[in-house]
Amino acid sequence: MSEVEKLEAEVNAILEGLSLTLSRVEEIRDTWKHGGRVGAEAVAVERAIAGLPWEQRQGAKGPYEWVTKRQTQNSDNFRVLRGALQDHEGRLSVGEHYYWLGSEGDAIFRRRKKR
């Protein structure tokens, strides 16, 4: 094998490794884009968020929204979002909002992210 062929083989191996690395980076980016969730779970959470009757409030740190288990009659949307929050230690970032679970698990809060 000539020196040029050896260098060509080495370059091809490096390019193959970079291709695999870039694929993995894209997977990680897509996972982060969905707050650590992928696929059907991300879609279910986004649908649940859209289907809840958020009530606006004003707190010491500014405006926020909330929804309660009682208010939604423990709807499927409430249970899906509560489950996702419980899976992520009570806190979640989706789209333009941060979400957190109330201490008793019967209320979900959200606040718009600062830009």
pLDDT score for 58: 95
Coil vs helix vs strand at 41: helix
Q: What is the distance between the alpha carbons of residues 25 and 59, in angstroms, rounded to a whole number?
A: 39
For range 43-53, the mean pLDDT = 89
Q: What is the pLDDT of residue 39?
A: 66
Name the band, by pLDDT with cuts 50, 70 and 90, for residue 2: confident
Q: Model-level pTM?
A: 0.65
**Confidence at residue 31, expressed as pLDDT on a 0 to 100 scale:** 62
Going by C-alpha positions, the residue among 80, 88, 86, 12 that lies closest to residue 47 is 80
Amino acid 9: pLDDT: 87
Q: Where are the domains of the chain?
A: 1-33, 39-112
